Amino acid sequence: MQVAERFGAKVSVALPGRGLFLLVAVEPGGLDALVQGVGGRIVARLDACRALVVMGVASYMGLRGSRVLRFIGPVSIDQQRFSTVMAAYQTPPPLVS
């Protein structure tokens, strides 16, 4: 019996919203299934083992002890600058003739 239960209290920890996280896999190729399995979305793939992912905070908490991941952590960025960089990164370079 927990202390809260002894006193008749109800303890609830709500983890609101979604966040941006850096995930580093132990081995290449496993991030897609892992991220989809927790309802997340890869927004930028850095290489075969690293990606920036948008997912719920509860999913982040659940993955923190995963043996599939070498690292998982929140990322704080300037949304406007990130959007600009990602747009430039995804736009093909101009053809020079």
Residue 72: exposure state from Cβ atoms within 10 A (0-12, 13-18, ≥19): buried
Q: For 69, left (φ over 0), alpha (ψ -120 to 50), or beta?
A: beta
The structural domains of the chain, with segments of one domain joined by +, span 25-90
Per-residue pLDDT of the chain (97 residues; tens, 9 = 90+): 455 566 665 544 445 688 889 999 999 988 999 999 999 999 989 999 999 999 999 899 999 989 999 999 998 877 788 788 778 777 666 667 6
Q: For 63, left (φ over 0), alpha (ψ -120 to 50), or beta?
A: alpha
Residue 92: exposure state from Cβ atoms within 10 A (0-12, 13-18, ≥19): exposed
